[in-house]
Chain A
Amino acid sequence: MKKTGSKDNKKTKQVPQPLKVRKLEIILVSLFFTVLTFALIGNLVVYMKRDSQEAINNDYNPRQELLANQNIRGKILSSSGDVLARTRVEENGEEVREYPYENLFAHVVGYSTRGKTGIEDSENMNMIFSHDSLGNKIQNELSETKNFGDNIVTTLDVDLQKISYEALGVYSGAVIVSEPSTGKILAMVSKPDYDPNKIPEMWEDLLHDDESSILLNRATQGLYPPGSTFKIVTALEYYREHAGDVSGYKFSCNGKYTQDGNTIKCFHGTKHGAVNFKKSFAKSCNSSFANMGKDLDISSWQKTCDGLLFGRELKTQIPYKKSQMPLSEQDNLEEKLQTAIGQGHTLVTPLEMNMITCAIANQGKCMTPYVVDRIENAKGDVVKRYQPKEEAVMMTPEEASFLNEMMQSVVTEGTATKLLNDSYTAAGKTGSAEFSSSKDDSHAWFTGFAPAEDPKVCVTIIVESAGSGGEYAVPIAKRILDTCYLRSQMSNFEDNK
């Protein structure tokens, strides 16, 4: 042993020298485990900062009940503070969830009586937490009442929601109104609808209803053939494959297009005559777009769709379905031509269409759609504010401004001339999507924005089984955009006063 050696030295009267212990490895090992420990802490902090909010909002978390026993579920408010959902405590202590606007916000706000949907679901945890002031909490404690849970302030606008809801009328379908620069959802309507106050009474019927799928939020979860609105995508792909120069494009339309035995007809067999690129887009000429689609490179086209978030997970908290563009190299020419005009097997949600439109309106940048602006405590102090987030850069500013110009031509000389007016410039694309080979019916689509030079709102509309987009969807868009315009005039007026 080393020490015995030292003792021998002592006997010979030499001064014992402490042994030099080699410390390098000890320091390395210490460092290694210190790093491991900090990894624990780092992981914990990341979980708390990034994932915990979403993780704990889970039916398997038994603490929801615990919190619900301590706090009264908070309210859901519109952007200007109108109550969209609140909890009334009856004299016997029973709590009743009320929705003052009844059917109007049914899908986007959701319900919380039989399971949870919509904002009632996604913000559940936040509403049963209470960040009330200490004074109030002490008062509640003394009077033995529950604390008020935090309130959810949404981005929703009651007036726009009403206009959208009324304009859709008796039709099934969906309307989304959003702000392209932030991704804020201003209105979101889905029909058929229901009165969330009456969920307990109608629950049995709903369970047995397979046909109308009334509980489905069609705006974000309804998958529809895009029809001619998909020509936005085809146009973008064609523009990309031709290096941004489409001035040389010419086509002569005689109402139909035939290639290798496959025939594509224009809507109602209309003959568009000689068309260039812009006119093809404005008039929504199927024959011309089939002609463009014939030579498109499928893998590049897939990449473009991927960039537009087809088949991708979205960052939004709103429940959604993934849109799909399943065209592949193996498909035959017919499928390719059909895809180019928005038929084929492509399926999109109104939300997806709205996001593409927002990107065009926002110089190519798509912001993540969101409905919750902030969380406030019962006193109105902000607990947490959600910031706009970038979802994806879908296209370059040049591509966006090209598509913007194309979409303006739809209003000035194409299928959406009903939107032409002296007050503001609108831009958009109509669609009439055939959804059944046996029927002549089509879903009416419109997606667009205004004012075209500095877009403030994007609207996306689908009216199920109505007919052509120009006839059924565009008037709804007009009512919404007119309202927005009037309100902007009002606020300008107020500002200048």
Chain B
Amino acid sequence: MAHVISDLSKYVIAIFMAVYALECFLVLLRKEENEKSGIFIRQVICMFMVHFLGFAAICLETGDPSYIIFYGFQEILLFATIALFRVVYPEADRLLVNNMCMMLAISFVVLTRISYDKSIRQFGIVAVSLIIGLFVPGLIKRVALVPYLTWVYGALGVVALTVVFILGSVTNGSNISYTAGGITFQPSEFVKILFVFFIAGMMATATDFKQVFLSAVCAGLHVLILVLSRDLGSAVIFFVVYLGMIFIATHNYFYLFAGLIAGAGASVIGYRLFSHVRVRVTAWLDPWRNIDNAGYQVTQSLFAIGTGGWFGMGVYQGNPSSIPYVEKDSVFSAVAEEMGVLFAIFMILVCLSSFLVCMKLAARLEEAFYRYVAVGLGITYIFQVFLTIGGGTRLIPLTGVTLPLVSYGGSSVLSTILLFSTIQGLCGIRRQERDYYEDDAYDYEEEE
């Protein structure tokens, strides 16, 4: 009987996810605060239902009730996060808080299903990250120095990447992480945020050719170190974020096209120069012929998604562990396999709505630095989502990046929570700007 119930739960879970995703876009269109409030509450209910049904299925399928305790802790953490943000930062974007918690809830379910041990470990990191994240918006708002440390961000980023490149290559041949005191860091995850701050600082100072050129050199340095460290995914993200930010800051189409051409040229050179780039492209073009080696990961990912079908195999009824790096790069395929392709599509839409929140915020922020930060972080987030899901579904070659907030990995989840918290800080900045005009009885709402 348990099996039948958990079998049915996958349909219900898809419906709650669909409602949640739909509300994400409704809220983007609504202006009245009280209307929005209702939506946010419904979203929280949907989120808790998805989380609950996921764990109910885990308990039923394994017959092990001890998962309930773990579930309880997760529930408290999610609830505390939503409540604390509401209390401490009333100006915070509630959709973004909800989305962050929704992705974490999905992560809890899918990671627990893949590995209980890893999931417990990840839960600890998430809890610490959320506590840290709670301080970030305050820092952004209050530390006036934030927009003026441009070169500090740039230098820190390059140094961090270089250190890992050198130490990583000594220890592991081709690694992007660095172990200190038993904890493994993947600095490129944090450098992504620093990099956005750096470019924002550069562009806020001036947008002339000299400034664009200087930032291009520094961006190129980041990308080069990452390519040499074989972290292709991050390299591409840095490049795209740079282009997007420069385009928005300078309004100059020439830079955009020059950048695209340079990017295309660099890709070709990279393809010729590095065998690991060629391997990925070959595996992408014909994974079936390379199923034993290079194409193994993407074909296993496609099997998982295809076998699961629209509604999935049901939690604990698939075989996600057969996909290499399932808890990291391929976590999307695990979600699609067991919770269904429809669920996965709604999850993509939730990611999209988070991105649109960032861009909408950017369009309203007046101080250039913060506006560019919002743009940069938004692009960083959505493009990483695109890379990991596109790789797992063979739209593009695999690049080995994680699905933010869902994948296993401390650096990844901490840096994404920092990213979301920074955006919340920008919401605070936006409120300050608005208050400033409202003091002078300027009806700003008309402007919107």
Binding site for B on A (CB under 8 A): 1-3, 6, 10, 15-19, 21-30, 33-34, 36-37, 39-41, 43-45, 47-48, 51-53, 55-56, 58, 60-63, 66-67, 125, 134, 137-138, 141-142
Contact between chains at A137 and B386 (CB < 8 Å): no
Chain B hits for A40, CB < 8 A: 348, 386, 389-390, 393, 395
Which residues of the partner chain B approach A37 to less than 8 Å between Cβ atoms? 348-349, 351-352, 355, 382, 385-386
Q: Is the CB of B303 within 8 A of A61?
A: yes
Q: Which residue in A23, A52, A56 is a CB contact (below 8 Å) of B363?
A: A23
Category for how many chain B residues contact A? 35 or more
Tell whether, in the assembled complex, residue B395 and residue A21 are in contact, meaning their CB atoms are under 8 Å apart. no
CA distance A137 to B3 in the complex (A): 9
CA distance A47 to B318 in the complex (A): 19
CB-based nearest B residue for A48: B341
Q: Is the CB of A63 within 8 A of B318?
A: yes
Q: Is B309 an interface residue (CB 8 A)?
A: yes
Closest A residue, CB atoms, query B389: A40
Residue of B307, B319, B356, B383 with most partner-chain A CB within 10 A: B307
Chain A residues whose CB sits within 8 angstroms of the CB of B299 once the complex forms: 55, 58, 60
Please give 4 more A-B residue pairs, beta carbons under 8 A apart, in addition to A2-B366, A3-B366, A33-B382: A10-B440, A18-B442, A44-B345, A48-B310
* Interface, chain B (partner A; CB < 8 A): 1, 3-4, 7-8, 147, 204, 244, 247-248, 251, 291, 299-300, 302-307, 309-310, 313, 318-319, 322, 336, 341, 344-345, 348-349, 351-352, 355-356, 359, 362-368, 371, 375, 379, 382-383, 385-386, 389-390, 393-395, 433, 436-437, 440, 442, 444, 447
Cβ contacts under 8 Å, B306 to chain A: 47-48, 51-53, 55-56
Cβ B359 vs Cβ A30 within 8 A: yes
CB-CB < 8 A to B305: which residues of A? Answer: 44, 47-48, 52
Question: Are B345's CB and A41's CB within 8 A?
Answer: yes
Known A44-B341, A63-B303; contact A15-B359, beta-carbon cutoff 8 A = no
B260 to chain A, nearest CB (A): 12
Complex formed: what's the CA distance from A3 to B434 in Å? 12
B1 & A36 in contact (Cβ 8 Å cutoff): no
CA distance A323 to B25 in the complex (A): 55
A138 & B1 in contact (Cβ 8 Å cutoff): yes
Q: List 10 A-B contacts (CB under 8 A).
A: A15-B442, A18-B444, A26-B248, A26-B375, A37-B351, A37-B352, A41-B345, A41-B348, A66-B318, A134-B8
Cβ–Cβ < 8 Å partners of A56 in chain B? 302-303, 306-307
- Bound-complex Cα distance A61 to B301 (A): 10
Query: Shortest beta-carbon distance, A46 to chain B, in Å?
Result: 10
- For residue B447, which residues in chain A have a CB less than 8 angstroms away from its CB? 18
Which among A30, A56, A142 has the greatest number of chain B C-beta atoms within 10 A? A30
**A47-B302, A138-B1 known; A2+B368 contact, CB < 8 A:** yes
Complex CA gap A371/B352 in Å reads: 44
Contact call B371/A55, Cβ cutoff below 8 A: no
Expressed in whole angstroms, the Cα–Cα distance for A480 and B263 within the complex equals 66
A6 to B433: give the CA distance in the assembly, Å: 11
Q: A29: which B residues are within 8 A, CB to CB?
A: 244, 247-248, 359, 375, 379
Q: What is the bound-complex CA distance between A210 and B442, given in angstroms?
A: 91
Distance from B325 Cβ to chain A, minimum over Cβ atoms (Å): 16
* A21 CB, nearest partner CB in chain B, Å: 6
The 4 closest A-B pairs by CB, nearest first: A52-B306, A61-B303, A56-B306, A30-B359
Query: Complex Cα distance A11/B363, Å?
Result: 27
Give the docked Cα–Cα distance between A62 and B437 (Å): 62
Report the minimum CB–CB distance from B199 to chain A (whole Å): 14
Complex Cα distance, B341 from A41, in Å, reads 10
B307 adjacent to A137 (CB under 8 Å): no
Nearest residue (CB) in B for A125 is B307
Closest to A32 in B: B244
CB distance from B250 to the nearest CB of A (A): 9
Known: A2-B367, A3-B366, A43-B393. A25 touches B247 (CB 8 A): yes
Are A16 and B345 within 8 A (Cβ)?
Answer: no
Contact A142 B363 (CB under 8 A): no
Pick from B367, B394, B437: contact of A16, CB under 8 Å: B437
- The reply to whether B1 and A33 form a contact with Cβ atoms under 8 Å apart is no
Which of B204, B363, B385 neighbours the largest number of chain A CB atoms within 10 Å of its CB?
B363
User: Given A16-B442, A21-B363, A41-B348, does the pair A60, B303 have CB atoms closer than 8 Å?
Assistant: yes
Could you tell me if B437 and A141 are in contact, using CB atoms closer than 8 angstroms?
no
Point out which of A24, A40, A142 has the most chain B C-beta atoms below 10 A from its C-beta.
Answer: A40
**Minimum CB–CB distance for B392 against chain A, Å:** 10
Query: What is the CA–CA distance of A36 and B386 in the complex, to the nearest angstrom?
Result: 7
Residues in A whose Cβ lies below 8 Å from that of B352: 33-34, 37
A29-B248, A29-B359, A39-B395 are known contacts. Are A44 and B386 too (CB-CB below 8 A)? no
What's the Cα separation between A352 and B318 when bound, in Å? 41
Q: Which residues of B contact A19 (CB under 8 A)?
A: 366
Residue of B3, B147, B251, B395 with most chain A CB atoms under a 10 A cut-off: B395
Which of A6, A24, A41 counts the most chain B CB atoms within 10 A? Answer: A41
How far apart sit A496 and B1, CA to CA, in the bound complex (Å)? 53
In angstroms, Cα B248 to Cα A53, docked, is 43
Q: Check A16–B359 contact: CB distance below 8 A.
A: no
List the B side residues contacting A53 at CB < 8 Å.
306
Kindly list chain B residues whose C-beta atoms are within 8 Å of the C-beta of A22.
Answer: 251
Contacts of A55 in B (CB 8 A): 299, 302-303, 306
Q: How far is the CA of A25 from the CA of B345 in the complex (A)?
A: 27
How far, in whole Å, are A141 and B306 apart by their CA atoms in the complex?
25
A193 to B319, CA, bound (A): 38
Contacts of B307 in A (CB 8 A): 56, 61, 63, 67, 125
Q: Which residues of chain B come closer than 8 Å to A43, judged between CB atoms?
A: 390, 393-395
Task: Find the residue from B7, B356, B393 having the highest chain A CB count within 10 A.
Answer: B393
Within the complex, the shortest CB–CB distance from B403 to chain A, in Å, comes to: 12
